[in-house]
């Protein structure tokens, strides 16, 4: 349906917003097309028996969405609204920066999201959304490495002591005084 990031945990797409809900997929073509409404206005996903269809002519707004899967792959992804565009019916009224997107009667969000300028604007929102998450992931990875390295040092000190090295030797190898080395690892 949309564009996925490298590891597939985020999916970018354009949803159609109507009175009472929103949806991302369409049935039918042209003016007869209908949007499948899968989410309520508050973002809650509707159970299948509460989903409904709405003529594309009733689409009043668009939402740039990301479905974000957390670290737990068994959970459903969380839908995040990255940007909203009001639909305008006169191309002269369009201004993507100001939140106005032109779509001809009978057009669908799919048609709009094929436009290069719309794709560029969507990807800009997505990059802003992903950047802090990437930094968080980098920090977590660095912290995990750091903890592993500390555990490796503990193991190496234990092995060195077992092999008969003194606290002076351990301190020398780790850039500490004998006393600091002993306080740190003396109980292990």
The residues binding Zn ion (CB under 5 A) are 10, 66, 68
CA distance 55 to 146: 55
The residue among 125 and 176 lying less far from Zn ion, judged by its C-beta, is 125
Q: Shortest gap between Cβ of 134 and Zn ion (angstroms)?
A: 11
DSSP label at residue 47:
P
Q: Shortest gap between Cβ of 50 and Zn ion (angstroms)?
A: 25
The residue among 3 and 51 lying less far from Zn ion, judged by its C-beta, is 3
Q: Shortest gap between Cβ of 84 and Zn ion (angstroms)?
A: 16
176 vs 120, 152, 182, CA distance in Å? Answer: 54, 17, 9
Quick one: which of 74, 78, 61, 69 has its CA closest to 112?
61
The residue among 66 and 103 lying less far from Zn ion, judged by its C-beta, is 66
CA distance 175 to 165: 15
Q: Shortest gap between Cβ of 89 and Zn ion (angstroms)?
A: 31
The residue among 125 and 160 lying less far from Zn ion, judged by its C-beta, is 125
Q: Answer yes or no: are the C-beta atoms of 37 and 141 closer than 8 Å.
A: no
């Amino acid at each position: 349906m949309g564009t996925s990031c490298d590891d597939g945990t985020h999916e970018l797409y354009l949803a159609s917003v109507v009175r009472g809900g929103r949806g991302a997929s369409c049935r039918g073509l042209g003016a007869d097309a209908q949007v499948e409404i899968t989410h309520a206005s508050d973002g809650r996903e509707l159970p299948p028996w509460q989903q409904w269809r709405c003529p594309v002519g009733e689409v009043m707004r668009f939402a740039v969405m990301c479905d974000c899967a957390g670290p737990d792959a068994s959970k459903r992804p969380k839908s995040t609204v990255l940007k909203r565009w009001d639909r305008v019916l006169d191309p002269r009224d369009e201004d993507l920066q100001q939140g106005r997107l032109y779509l001809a009667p009978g057009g669908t969000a799919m048609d709009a999201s094929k436009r290069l300028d719309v794709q560029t604007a969507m990807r800009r929102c997505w990059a802003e959304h992903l950047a802090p998450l990437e930094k968080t992931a980098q920090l977590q990875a660095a912290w995990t490495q750091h903890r592993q390295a500390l555990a490796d040092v503990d193991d190496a000190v234990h092995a060195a002591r077992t092999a008969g090295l003194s606290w002076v030797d351990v301190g020398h190898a780790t850039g500490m005084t004998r006393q600091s080395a002993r306080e740190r690892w003396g109980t292990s």
